[in-house]
Structure 1
Amino acid sequence: MNEKIERLKSLTYIPQKEIGWLIEQAELAVKQKAIIEENKLQQDITVKQFRQAQQDIRRLSGESSRYKKVLQQTIKNLQFVITTAKNELEGENS
């Protein structure tokens, strides 16, 4: 694209007004293409970050569920130990 712009700049048989317009349009197209490419790159990065966040959420949800189950089992075990200790104390006091 840049080569075409330079070639148009060197032409002398096209009226200056038209060549100026062509050059402006070509330069604008190059700038727009760069912006589009940058936006595409940013979009790809955002999609990757979003997918990573989804994976993290799933992993953390799973960990939370496992911790909850372990905590519930620990509470049951403690309740059993407390009940057993109470029974032993009541047996000793009788």
Structure 2
Amino acid sequence: MRIFGEAAEKNLYLSQLIILDTLEKCLAGQPKDTMRLDETMLVKQLLPEICHFLHTCREGNQHAAELRNSASGVLFSLSCNNFNAVFSRISTRQAN
């Protein structure tokens, strides 16, 4: 999706930050070792989206570092609750 205009781009980044921060807080409050099979599948679907934030944040953008840090926090929370899925994603990416 292409965003045109400085104000629209800023609003997009701020919206993404809010979503990532909220997701991180929700995941951090989740009890450990209570993942159900359907939650594991959702984590596997979420991982590529979070990794996308880590790899595609444009340098030089004032919000890029914030997005990357926020996505890193979500990834950490995901790894605390579902390490096997995160490790599998990392292993798969290293092999490519």
Q: TM-score, normalised by structure 2?
A: 0.29
Structure with bigger helix share is 1
Rg: which structure is higher? 1
Q: TM-score, normalised by structure 1?
A: 0.30
**Using CA pairs below 8 Å that are at least 6 residues apart, which structure has the higher relative contact order?**
2
